[in-house]
Chain A
Amino acid sequence: MKLSSRIMATVAAILALVLPPVQAQQRITTIKAWTIGPDAPSVTRFSNLQAAAERLNAGLRREGVQYQIKVEGSFDTTNWDQFLRRVLLAFQGGDPPDIVQASAALSTTWAAAGFLAPLDDYVPKYKPFSDIVPALWTSVKYKGKTWGIPQDTEARPLYFNKVLLKKLGWTDQQIADLPKRIASGTFIWDDVMAVAKDARQKNIVEPGKGYYHRPFNGPDFMQWYRSFGGRDYDAQTGKLVFNKAAALRYYRWLRAGVDAGIIERDRINNDWNRFHQPITDGDGKVLFWSGGTWNWAEWSQQWVAARGGEAWLFDHFGYAPHPAYVKGGKPITLSNPQAYMVAAASKNKDVAIRLLADTMVPDLDAKHAIGSGHLPVLNRTVALVNNRFLKEVSYLLTYTTFQPPHPDLPKWQDAFFRGVSAVESGSATPEQAVDVVSGEMQRTLSDQVTVE
Chain B
Amino acid sequence: MTLWALNLAQAALMVLAAPLLAGIIQKCKARLQNRRGASILQPYRNLLKLFRKETLLAENASWIFRTTPYVLFTTTALAASVVPVLLVDLPSALIADVIAMAALLALARFWLALAGMDIGTAFGGMGASREMTFSAMAEPAMLMSMFVMSLGAHSTNLSTMVQHALHLDHLLPSVAFALAALLMVAIAENGRIPIDNPSTHLELTMIHEAMILEYSGRHLALIEWASQIKLLLFATLIISLFVPWGIAESPAIQPVLAALVFWFGKVVLLTVALAVLETGLAKIRLFQVPEYLSTAFVLAFLGMLVHYILEVGA
Do they bind each other?
Answer: no
Residues of B within 8 A of A (CB): none
